[in-house]
Structure 1
Amino acid sequence: MAPTKTIETLTLEAAQAAAHACATHSKAINVPMNIAVVDASTHLLHFSRMDGAKLTSIHIAIDKAFTAAGHRVPTSTYKEAVWPGGAAFGIWNTNGGRFSTIGGGVPIKNSRGEVLGAVGCSTGTPAQDEEVARAGVEAVERLLKGEGRERAKL
């Protein structure tokens, strides 16, 4: 067995495409957003704050992307499990307080189900944030399929 492993991750170009798709969808629903895209290792790759997005939501968007990439599921997954007595009660205190249980973080996966990164959005309701984040994820999925522009090097 090899002592190292190569991990597929997003490029800046793919992160920018995701952020652009998020911003476009955000404008369509008239809710300005903070948009964060992280790589497969949960590190911030791209961030955008749209005019009118809440300043207090900047770190929330980043933490949503961090959580979605690190746990490989949308942050909305934890909605019912984080209440007192729930299976994940207290999980928001992990990872230096960065673990987000608020909808709006969505992982980006390749065709093998491996996480390439994630998108986190914040300013609207959790449902609006997730809707906008999914627009970014779908943009990268189209790139992975070679649709639109020439296939990005992801």
Structure 2
Amino acid sequence: MSGARAVIALGSNLGDREATLLAATREIADLEGVELVAASGAVETVALKPEGEDPDAPAYLNAVVVVESALEPLDLLHLLREIEQRHGRVRAERWGDRTLDLDLIDVAGVTLRTEELTLPHPRAAERAFVLEPWLQADPDARLTGHGRVRDLLEAL
């Protein structure tokens, strides 16, 4: 399959986090028009809230998958949201605890700003919980407009 390389961040801090991330990775790989290229291991991190880190909230497991996608970015985003819903995702609170969070980080270097989707992800360059697993999945990764993921991670 030829397509655009897409980077998807996965996170979970409720329920069986590891099983959820593994199931979501399988579901992403099974999407029509999507081929799994690489997947990171899980990285555990403290929960991040709008006010900052919250050590009292359940810790997150985070991972990244790299795929080749024949889908348009918004179509891929909609399918990712369907996977979140199947895993009980509730969007009641900004940056609230969640069974599954799937974020589209980068799609072939495309720059996009819509009400639903901004590419590259506007905060990816500041988030070690995205950069660390992304580097595991792709040691040569670059974030559009920001440079090498390795350099971004070292700067944090």
- Normalised to the residue count of structure 2, the TM-score between the two structures is 0.29
Q: Which has the higher strand share?
A: 2
Structure in which a larger fraction of residues adopt helix: 1
- What's the TM-score once normalised by structure 1's chain length? 0.29
